Structures are given as structure tokens and as C-alpha cells.
Amino acid sequence: MTFSQWLFGGIDNPYKNGRWGLLHIMTLVVCVGCVVGFYFLVKHAKNKDRTRNIIVNSLAGAILFFEVMIRFVYFMKLYYFHQEGTESWSVLWIMIPKPWCAISCWVLVACVFVKKAFFYNYASLSALLCSFIFFCYPGVGYNNEILLFDNWYSILTHALLLTTSLTLVVLKFTAFKYKDIWKLAICFVLTYAYGLLQIYVLHTQDDPMYFMPDGDIQADILHISYGLYLTLYILLIVIYVNAFHLIDDRATVKKWFASWKAKE
């Protein structure tokens, strides 16, 4: 196999079920190890703020590198190699972030420029949920005999999503306060609006946010009715978002309980 074949593919690459194999588990171990390492690195740093920023900026830079590289690879496959299976691709399809995981990649890159707590909250929650679902049941990356660039792109970007999202929380870039939860809600609403735009207007993705009928998770993994799936989907998002606020904004929660008791 040549470097060009590794980078651009176009070779026979048999399917392999790599879920919860050695590489899958080692990826998770490395991600957790990195987060723990970053925590102690900042804890013992002379300039904690500078160290925190260098870590997060470096992680965002790594994500940006892979996002730019995958687009270069796709353009080469489409216009230079004319590979089979690229006939339906377009410049728009290649350029825009499509599924939720790719959207989260660009949100994490953007958060180092926005530098607002609510946006760090949104970026970390979005990326963590995507990476959690991926590592529970990866449908790409680990599923071929030969790990080409496409495979490593999937593995490493999801690993970066997991590492960066947890790092934002552990290094206290995030601040989950109920008084600001409306800002987080707007970010999620805009993300879902973008998903609907892809489905019904741009036609670049059938189910970017994994909530449409007969999607991969509902039909191929869980095998449940769409009504039940959508109910569980909404409950998961609500509980997931609230869990972080309940933990981080305990003072507000205590006030609520105190006021309820006073009314009784």
C-alpha cells in the first residue's frame, strides 16, 4: 500500500467489527489519561490561565487540522481520482459540517474565539454527547481491516471531541448556571435548525442530528418504534443538560428547594 492509497483510499478494505476491541479501548484510555494529565499540568503550572489556554487552543487546532485535511482528501477523491461513490458529492457537501459530530468539531474550534462561558457550555455538552454515543457504538473508524486516513480521521476527531469537551469542564472553562441556560437553549435550537436546513433545503444529509424516522440509531441499533425513540431522545437531551446544571449550580437548586419548603 502506497502513501497515496493510505491517504486517498480507493483500495479494497474489508469490513471488520472493531467495536470494543483493543484499539477502541486504548483510545478511551488515552483520552481519559490526557484529561487527567491536563488537570495536573494546570494545577502545577506557574501561569495557570496561560497553560489552560494553550491546552484548549492546541486541541482546537488539532481538530481544525483534521477538518481541513478531510476536505482536501474529499476534493482529491472527487476531482483528481474520480473514485467510485463520489458521484453524488458536491462542493457544498464537502465544505459544510454535516452530522452532529462534525458540527461539534467546528463549534469547539469556534469557542476559542468566542470565549464566552455559555458557548463553552454549549460546545462541551454538544461534543461530549456526540463522542459518548460514538464510543458506545462506533459505526465508523474501527470498522475496516486497514486503517486508512478516513478511519483515523473518524477515530481521532471523536477522540478529540471527547478529550476537549471533558477538558473544558475539568479546567473550568464552563460555568453551568440556570440563569444562563436560555443562551444554551438558543444554541441548540440553532443547531437543530441547521440540521433541518441540511435535510429539507440543502439536501446534504438525511439525518444530521439523529432524530429523523428510520435513522441509524433508532432502526439499526435500538430497533424501537419512532414514537418511543423520539420520546427517549427528548428526555435524554433534557436530563443530560440539566444534570450539568444541577451539579454546577447547586446554590440555585438549594434556593429553589428552600423556597418550595417555605411555601409549604
259 pLDDT above the threshold of 80: no
Residues 6+ apart with CB under 8 A from 97: 67, 103, 105, 106
pLDDT tens figures, 189-244:
999 999 999 999 999 999 999 999 988 888 888 889 999 999 999 999 999 999 99
29 vs 88 pLDDT, higher one: 29
**Are 209 and 102 a contacting pair, CB within 8 Å?**
no
Answer whether residue 261 shows pLDDT above 80.
no
Which pLDDT score, from 0 to 100, does residue 262 have? Answer: 67
pLDDT digits (tens, 9 = 90+) for 78-103: 999 888 888 889 999 999 999 999 99
Residue 142 backbone phi and psi in degrees, to 5: -90, 5
Q: How confident is the model at residue 264 (pLDDT cuts 50, 70, 90)?
A: low
pLDDT at 205: 93
For 114-147, the pLDDT digits (tens) are 999 999 999 999 999 999 999 998 888 999 999 9
- Averaged confidence pLDDT in the chain: 94
Model pTM score: 0.94
Residues 8-21 have a mean pLDDT of: 90
Predicted confidence at residue 49, as pLDDT, reads 95
